[in-house]
Structure 1
Amino acid sequence: MTKLQKKVIFCLAGTLSFACAIGIAGALGTQLWVKGTILCKTGALLVNATGEELKKFIGEIQYGLFYGQRNKQCGLGGRPATFSFFPDLLHAIPASMHVSIITFSSALIVFALVGTGFFMFNAFGTPYETLHGPMGLYLWSFISCSCGSLVLILFSSEVKMHNLTEKIANYREGGFTYKTDTEHFEKSFWILLVCTLVHGLNIGLIRLAGFEFPFTKSKELDTSSGAIDLMY
């Protein structure tokens, strides 16, 4: 592969990495991570609501990593309200997991920007150390991909396994019990997934540029020494 082709590939990978950093930074501050509906279980049981009547007890909720909004329905009209995770919900949610998600998301932005710098340096500069060359490109791309995967796993676990939506809906609700009716991940979550896949794609682009994966060495057979061994 010619030097020009390598520059084009590195520029493409660097541009993708920078776009990921911008996308994740934008997604981090929005509330478009999870959206769903919540059922006022207590109210529905009191009037034995079924069919069309049950819709009067189904409200909406959406939230991100820092704040969100909900509209509770208990048969007497909606009760819209906004909420924030810090400091309001720290005692109601798995706080350590939630803080870890935010920390790794912020670190992913930094890693993506560092990876962008390394790609551009290899495209237009002259790498002079191992970490400035292909090894550094593989390293930061792998770290970014791993960090993004970790955020996806942690956030999915917090929402699905720890019933985050129900905990938010039932926060400071003494007389009513709410149950998750439907929930699905929103745009910001899928942006993070795409960015994680892009960092994995960058690893493939580095290999396409002609650089071997780290810690792989071609084994050359020495036929002459093999023949001497056979003689003895």
Structure 2
Amino acid sequence: MPNRQKKFIFCVGGVLSFACVLVVAAAMGTQFWLKGTVLCKTGAQLVNATGPELEKFMGRISYGLFHGQRLKQCGLGGRPLRFSFFPDLMGAIPIVLHGSVLFFCAVLIVFSAVASAFFLFNAFSRPYETLHGPLGLYLWNFICCVCSSLVMTLFASEVRFHRLSEKIANYNESSFVYKTHSEQFDYSYWLILFTFLTHLLNILLIRLAGIQFPFQEAKEPDVSSGASDLMY
């Protein structure tokens, strides 16, 4: 591939990696990772509410990695409340799992920035081999793919298996019991999937630039043809 086209591909990869830095940083600061509805089970059972009457006991909840808000309804109007995971809910959430999500988000930001720098370094400089050359481009993008998949998996397990929404809704509640009615991941969660796909695209761009995948066996040169070439 001509050197100019290779530089262009590396520049595109650098811009995409830097975009991932901004996207993940913005996603971490929002409260739009998950949204859902919670049912005031105690209030609904007291009046034996069914069908449309359940709407009076249906509240809403949305949260991210640091903060969120909930609207509790138990038949007497809504009670909006904002909350923070740190330090308000440290006793209610699976702190190790939630901390792992934050940790891998931070690692994803760092290595996306590293990948962006290495793309530009390979585009405008003469990198030496190992981590400054093609191997580094593959390595940093592969690490970003792993981290983004871990963020999605850990957050999904925190929500589904540890019933994070119910723990938030029932925190410091002594009179009412709340039960999750519906949940769906919001757009900040899907931004992490966008990051994963972007780094996967970067790996394909590196291969498009003519750089072989790591550990791929190089084709052995034909010794006989080389000897015949020397004769002429």
Output the amino acid matched with 1:194: F
**Displacement after TM superposition at 1:223 (Å):** 8.9
Alignment of 1:81-230 (within 5 A): 81-220=81-220
Map 1:1-150; keep pairs closer than 5 Å. 1-150=1-150
Moved segments of 4+, more than 6 Å: 221-224
Distance 1:45 1:200, change over 3 A: same
1:54-113 Cα offsets, whole Å, 9 max, x none, are 100000100000010000000000011011101111111110000110011011111000
Q: Mark the CA change 1:219 to 1:125 in structure 2 (over 3 Å): closer, same or farther.
A: closer
117-126 vs 210-219, which moves further: 210-219
Number of equivalences: 224
The secondary structure found in structure 1 opposite 2:201 is helix
Secondary structure of 1:104's match?
Answer: helix
Secondary structure at the counterpart of residue 101 of structure 2: helix
TM-score when normalising by structure 2: 0.94
SS at match of 2:103: helix
Residue identity opposite 1:120 in structure 2? L
Cα deviation, residue 129, structure 1:
3.3
Counterpart Cα distance in 2 of 1:129 and 1:5: 20
Look up the equivalent residue of 1:210 and give its one-letter code: G
Change in CA separation of 1:222 and 1:15 when aligned onto 2, cut-off 3 Å? closer
Aligned-pair CA distance for 1:221: 8.4
Deviations 1:103-137 (A, max 9, x none): 11011111000100000000111102321110000
Alpha-carbon distance between aligned partners in 1 of 2:169 and 2:153, rounded to the nearest angstrom: 23
| CA positional deviation for 1:219 | 4.7
- Once the two structures are TM-superposed, the CA of residue 217 in structure 1 deviates from its matched residue by 1.3
CA RMSD of aligned residues (A): 1.3
Closer, same or farther: CA 223–125 of 1 in aligned 2, 3 Å: closer
Secondary structure at 2:89's aligned position in 1? coil
Q: 2: distance between equivalents of 1:100 and 1:109?
A: 14
What secondary structure sits across from 1:98 in the alignment?
helix
CA offset at residue 211 of structure 1? 0.6
Distance 1:220 1:123 in 2: 28
Aligned position for 1:229: none
Unaligned runs of 5+ in 1: 225-232
CA distance in 1, matches of 2:218, 2:8: 27
SS of 2:83 mapped into structure 1: strand
**Stretch moving more, 80-89 or 213-222:** 213-222
CA spacing shift, 1:177–1:188, aligned 2, 3 Å: same
